[in-house]
């Protein structure tokens, strides 16, 4: 399995190179550093000196890909591509516009993100699967139909509504928990409850319906008929056989997102004032801080690829027939 | 009053889509085997009712797409680009109050200092300029509203009944929902002549008008995106599956790279860069409307560029399966060219996947627009959309007393549109999916 993982990691390299080239093209070729400087400094009254100073401060005063002026390896390394884009491979994300070290920000900000995203993910998973199992158990009855109808309505509601409505109802009208904020330790709990609750509710519609489809597909298979013929109760069939066999499709959709939990959720974090990576990204977008956005894009795809590898490993854990070699 | 028609970029794309839709409909009508799954869609009452609701939204969106500019004196054009819908809803558009007012209110929402008839300063709720003209107090307002609801509903029902008779609607669910919609339309129309049915927002604009204007933005985001997704996914997916080898490797590489970037981040990065480009090229647009419009088109294109990978993967898989089928093998051994095999035998057989995936994507795109506008990478702030409405109204929830109607209308309209689209998409999937057993 180690050999397999190493090979997968090598496969990941060209994909990350692609992501890197794509972001480089987006951020430096579509618009030159000159355009960005003009944008940052204001479009109208801007002198060439001011642009040059801005580029010098940010380290954008180099050629894009190839530096004729430099000597030796400097021809490659003394360029924007090498210093701003390729450097992300050794996780050197550089500095944001306000002069902070992006890598350090990421290291401190991923924990608040995780504090919200992980409980949401776990609670959601348990709840959605249980709800889907109940619907499957009562399939083709009124209860199932009502459940599906509820799911369709819930998934047609905008995610913004859940957040705004939840904040209004629970924090403003009922004063149960603070509207927004964050703190570490035990007292941080009251800040976490509402975002987690809203996160779980907003996912019910699409997730439960998806799990129900998976379970129903399994219910139609031959081994279920055999299990019933053996005299197993419907609940027994569902929990011991169907749930286990549905693990592969469930894992396919679920495990990929686990590494991405570190990135947090843009919406939740900005509405609840959580100092995580999601709100970091939103602030960067609003302040047009391109180096942070670039770093997040790269980090996001890195974590996604890690998630794909994790998915493969998880298959071997639930299905003995799957061997990675 | 003379006018010149204006075709914005998004309008042109909508016309293209409508033309393609009509052409496809004519083609399908002529081929019984293509018509069959649509007949199955037609058997479902849910599908028909949601289609009815959708067509109402579509009508508003299309009317709002026919843009024109009024010709002023001496051959000069008005700088304002209007649409046929704006013209129809002119009272709603022009009746701008000072600031917030509640639905069906006759006064503003906050007290102000005013001079009374004796010249003394009093604090009271100022009357609205355009709502409830000639109405003295709340009791009289209630009576007037009740009267208008009655006549509006009656007229609406009559109109609905007439349509049912003319179109010979037989399905009961469809007839009932048609009556409900026309009654609702009648009531809203009659009330909107004298009141702000859904209140007014911070700058006094009618919320009903804004909600109706948002429909077009949502529809465009949901449909113009298709224009990018469809050709990319179709050509690349089918080519990868059919030719295999290095073509497959290259295409797989491209879509793996694109799909490995979390979509919100990729969209954000692309939109940020688009903003820079548009800011450095102010010469591209002649009016504010065309600037906002171009941004909307670019946003749709970017959404398309980031969302074709899923469909492409599906199509590649299906093509891989199809190319091993006997009829394709037979065509190959007869020496039919690759192009002809692709166009005659493969593409028609993956059409159902495309259709299902497009109708399923529509609603998520409408929802995504609101989120992206909140994040700051959505439509132009000057463009009316559900996202900008929600964004503007979000902070009003913190006011005391709370201003809820802008948010409620934006979410309400969005829910209706997305729910109808979801239900319709489900019926289409059920009718087209060959995996479902059908007797």
Residue B311's pLDDT is 93
Give one DSSP letter per residue of B336-372, joined into a string.
--HHHIIIIIIHHHHHHHHHHHHHHHHHHHHHHHHHH
Q: Collapsing DSSP states into helix, strand and coil, what is residue A216?
A: helix
Residue A39's pLDDT is 72
DSSP class of B124: E
Angstroms from A3 CA to nearest CA on chain B = 22
- Give the number of other Cβ atoms within 10 Å of residue B19's Cβ: 10
Buried b or exposed e, range B214-225, using 16+ CB within 10 angstroms: bbbbbbbbbbbb
Buried b or exposed e, range A93-122, using 16+ CB within 10 angstroms: bbbbeeeeebeebbeebbebbbbbbebbbe
Contact status, residue B220 vs residue B304, Cβ threshold 8 Å: no
Residue B436's pLDDT is 65
pLDDT tens per residue across span B347-395: 998 998 999 899 889 999 999 999 998 888 889 888 899 999 998 888 7
DSSP class of B134: T
Contact between chains at A281 and B276 (C-beta distance less than 8 A):
no
Contact between chains at A164 and B397 (C-beta distance less than 8 A):
yes
Contact status, residue A227 vs residue A87, Cβ threshold 8 Å: no
> Which of A11, A156, A286, A307 is best to mutate for the B interface (most B CBs within 10 A)?
A156
Quick check: B336 pLDDT over 70?
Answer: yes
Contact status, residue A313 vs residue B281, Cβ threshold 8 Å: no
Range of lowest pLDDT (A190-194, B210-214, B411-415, B423-427): A190-194
**Facing B375 at nearest CB: one of A172, A285, A301:** A285
pLDDT tens per residue across span B163-218: 988 888 888 888 999 999 999 999 999 888 888 989 898 888 899 999 999 999 99
Contact status, residue B150 vs residue B156, Cβ threshold 8 Å: no
Residue B413's pLDDT is 95
Q: Is A101 left (phi over 0), alpha (psi -120 to 50) or beta?
A: beta
CA–CA separation, B426 and A211 (whole Å):
16
Q: Which of residues 19-38 of A touch B (CB under 8 A)?
A: 19, 22-23, 26-27, 30-31, 35-36, 38
Residue entry with tokens 């350090």 = A104
Residues 6+ apart with CB under 8 A from A226: none
Q: Is B111 left (phi over 0), alpha (psi -120 to 50) or beta?
A: beta
Residues 6+ apart with CB under 8 A from B217: B296, B369, B379, B383, B384, B385, B386
Give the H or E element holding residue B115: strand B112-115
CA–CA separation, A322 and A320 (whole Å):
5
CA–CA separation, B398 and A302 (whole Å):
39
Contacting residues of A for B415, CB less than 8 Å apart: 156-158, 161
Contacting residues of B for A301, CB less than 8 Å apart: 257, 260-262
**pLDDT class for B1, splitting at 50, 70, 90?**
low
pLDDT tens per residue across span B89-109: 888 888 888 888 888 888 888
Q: Collapsing DSSP states into helix, strand and coil, what is residue B33?
A: helix
Contact between chains at B371 and A158 (C-beta distance less than 8 A):
yes
Contact status, residue A76 vs residue A66, Cβ threshold 8 Å: yes
Question: Which chain B residue is nearest to residue A27, measuring alpha carbons?
Answer: B273
Mean pLDDT of B63-77: 83
DSSP class of B434: T
Largest CA distance in chain A: 84
CA–CA separation, B10 and B387 (whole Å):
18
Residue B331's pLDDT is 92
State yes or no: ipTM above 0.90.
no
Q: Collapsing DSSP states into helix, strand and coil, what is residue B202?
A: coil
- Give the number of other Cβ atoms within 10 Å of residue B293's Cβ: 23
CA–CA separation, B415 and A142 (whole Å):
24
Alpha-carbon torsion, ordered A278, A280, A285, A286, to 10 deg: 110
Quick check: B249 pLDDT over 50?
Answer: yes
Residue B201's pLDDT is 87
> Which of A170, A180, A301 is best to mutate for the B interface (most B CBs within 10 A)?
A301
DSSP class of B125: P
Residue entry with tokens 């290291």 = A107
Question: Which chain B residue is nearest to residue A19, measuring alpha carbons?
Answer: B257
Size of interface A-B (CB pairs under 8 A): 124
Residue B55's pLDDT is 93
**Facing A26 at nearest CB: one of B269, B367, B375:** B269
Better pLDDT: B332 or B134:
B332
**Facing A156 at nearest CB: one of B375, B397, B419:** B419
Residue entry with tokens 């609205």 = B128
Residues 6+ apart with CB under 8 A from B170: none
Contact between chains at B253 and A18 (C-beta distance less than 8 A):
yes
Residue A43's pLDDT is 61
CA–CA separation, B323 and B241 (whole Å):
8
pLDDT block averages, 10 residues each, chain A of length 325: 86 90 83 74 73 76 73 73 77 80 90 92 95 92 94 93 90 84 81 92 93 91 92 89 90 90 89 91 86 89 91 87 76
**pLDDT class for B439, splitting at 50, 70, 90?**
very low
Query: The tokens of B45 are what?
Result: 């009452």
Q: Collapsing DSSP states into helix, strand and coil, what is residue A107?
A: helix
Q: Which residues of B touch A (CB under 8 A)?
A: 253-254, 256-258, 260-262, 264-266, 268-270, 272-273, 275-277, 279-280, 282, 363, 367, 370-371, 374-377, 386, 390, 394, 397-398, 402, 407, 411, 414-415, 418-419, 422-423, 426
**Facing B257 at nearest CB: one of A19, A38, A294:** A19
Among the listed residues B431, B393, B430, B21, the one whose alpha carbon sits nearest the alpha carbon of residue B219:
B21
Residue B401's pLDDT is 78
Among the listed residues B314, B426, B370, B411, the one whose alpha carbon sits nearest the alpha carbon of residue B41:
B426
Contact status, residue B424 vs residue B359, Cβ threshold 8 Å: yes
**Facing A286 at nearest CB: one of B253, B264, B376:** B376
R_g of chain B computed on alpha carbons: 26
Angstroms from A246 CA to nearest CA on chain B = 18
A209 vs B: CB within 8 A: no
């Amino acid at each position: 399995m180690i050999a397999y993982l190493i090979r997968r990691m090598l496969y990941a390299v060209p994909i990350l190179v692609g992501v890197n080239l794509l972001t480089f093209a987006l951020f430096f070729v579509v618009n030159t550093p000159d355009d960005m400087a003009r944008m940052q400094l204001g479009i109208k009254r801007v002198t060439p000196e001011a642009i040059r100073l801005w580029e010098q401060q940010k380290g954008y005063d180099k050629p894009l890909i190839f530096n004729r002026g430099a000597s030796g390896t400097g021809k490659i390394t003394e360029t924007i591509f090498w210093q701003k884009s390729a450097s992300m491979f050794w996780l050197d994300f550089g500095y944001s516009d306000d002069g902070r070290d992006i890598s350090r920000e990421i290291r401190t900000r991923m924990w608040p993100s995780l504090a919200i995203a992980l409980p949401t993910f776990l609670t959601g998973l348990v709840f959605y699967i249980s709800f889907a199992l109940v619907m499957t158990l009562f399939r083709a009855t009124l209860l199932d139909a009502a459940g599906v109808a509820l799911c369709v309505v819930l998934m047609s509601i905008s995610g913004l509504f859940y957040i705004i409505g939840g904040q209004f109802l629970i924090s403003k009208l009922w004063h149960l928990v603070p509207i927004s904020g964050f703190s570490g330790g035990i007292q941080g709990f009251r800040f976490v409850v509402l975002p987690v609750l809203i996160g779980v509710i907003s996912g019910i519609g699409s997730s439960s319906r998806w799990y129900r489809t998976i379970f129903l597909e399994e219910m139609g298979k031959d081994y279920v008929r055999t299990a019933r013929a053996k005299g197993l109760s419907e609940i027994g069939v569902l929990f011991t056989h169907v749930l286990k066999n549905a693990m592969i499709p469930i894992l396919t959709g679920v495990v990929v997102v686990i590494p991405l939990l570190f990135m947090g959720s843009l919406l939740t974090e900005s509405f609840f004032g959580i100092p995580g990576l999601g709100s970091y990204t939103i602030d960067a977008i609003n302040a047009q801080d391109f180096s942070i956005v670039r770093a997040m894009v790269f980090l996001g795809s890195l974590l996604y690829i890690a998630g794909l590898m994790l998915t493969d490993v998880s298959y071997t854990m639930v299905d003995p027939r799957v061997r990675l070699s | 009053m003379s006018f010149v028609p204006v075709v914005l970029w998004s309008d042109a794309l909508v016309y293209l889509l409508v033309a393609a839709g009509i052409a496809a409909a004519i083609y399908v009508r002529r081929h019984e085997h293509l018509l069959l799954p649509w007949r199955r869609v037609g058997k479902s009452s849910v599908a028909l009712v949601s289609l009815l609701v959708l067509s109402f939204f579509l009508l508003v969106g299309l009317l709002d797409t026919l843009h024109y500019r009024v010709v002023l004196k001496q051959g000069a054009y008005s700088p304002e680009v209007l649409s046929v819908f704006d013209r129809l809803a002119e009272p709603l558009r022009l009746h701008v109050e000072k600031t917030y007012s509640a639905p069906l209110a006759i006064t503003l929402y906050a007290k102000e200092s005013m001079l009374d008839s004796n010249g003394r300063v009093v604090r009271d709720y100022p009357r609205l300029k355009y709502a409830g003209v000639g109405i003295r107090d709340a009791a009289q307002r209630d009576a007037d509203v009740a009267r208008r609801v009655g006549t509006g509903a009656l007229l609406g029902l009559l109109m609905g009944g007439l349509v049912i008779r003319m179109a010979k609607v037989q399905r009961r669910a469809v007839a009932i929902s048609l009556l409900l919609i026309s009654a609702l339309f009648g009531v809203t129309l009659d009330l909107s002549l004298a009141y702000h049915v859904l209140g007014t927002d911070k700058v006094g604009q009618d919320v009903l008008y804004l909600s109706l204007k948002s429909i077009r933005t949502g529809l465009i985001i949901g449909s113009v995106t298709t224009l990018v997704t469809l050709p990319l996914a179709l050509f690349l997916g089918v080519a990868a599956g059919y030719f295999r080898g290095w073509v497959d490797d290259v295409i797989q590489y491209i879509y793996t790279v694109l799909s490995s970037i979390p979509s919100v981040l990729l969209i954000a990065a692309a939109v940020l860069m688009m903003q820079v480009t548009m800011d450095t090229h102010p010469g591209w647009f002649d009016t504010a409307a065309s600037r906002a419009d171009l941004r909307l088109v670019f946003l749709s294109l970017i959404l398309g560029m980031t969302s074709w990978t899923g469909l492409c993967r599906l199509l590649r898989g299906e093509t891989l399966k199809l190319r091993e089928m006997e009829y394709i093998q037979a065509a190959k051994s007869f020496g039919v060219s690759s192009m002809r095999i692709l166009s005659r035998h493969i593409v028609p057989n993956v059409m159902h996947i495309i259709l299902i995936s497009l109708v399923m994507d529509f609603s998520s795109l409408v929802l995504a627009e609101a989120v992206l506008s909140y994040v700051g990478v959505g439509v132009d702030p000057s463009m009316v959309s559900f996202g900008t409405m929600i964004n503007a109204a979000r902070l009003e929830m913190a006011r005391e007393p709370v201003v809820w109607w802008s948010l409620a209308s934006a979410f309400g309209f969005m829910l209706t549109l997305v729910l109808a689209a979801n239900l319709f998409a489900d019926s289409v999937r059920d009718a087209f999916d060959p995996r479902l057993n059908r007797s």
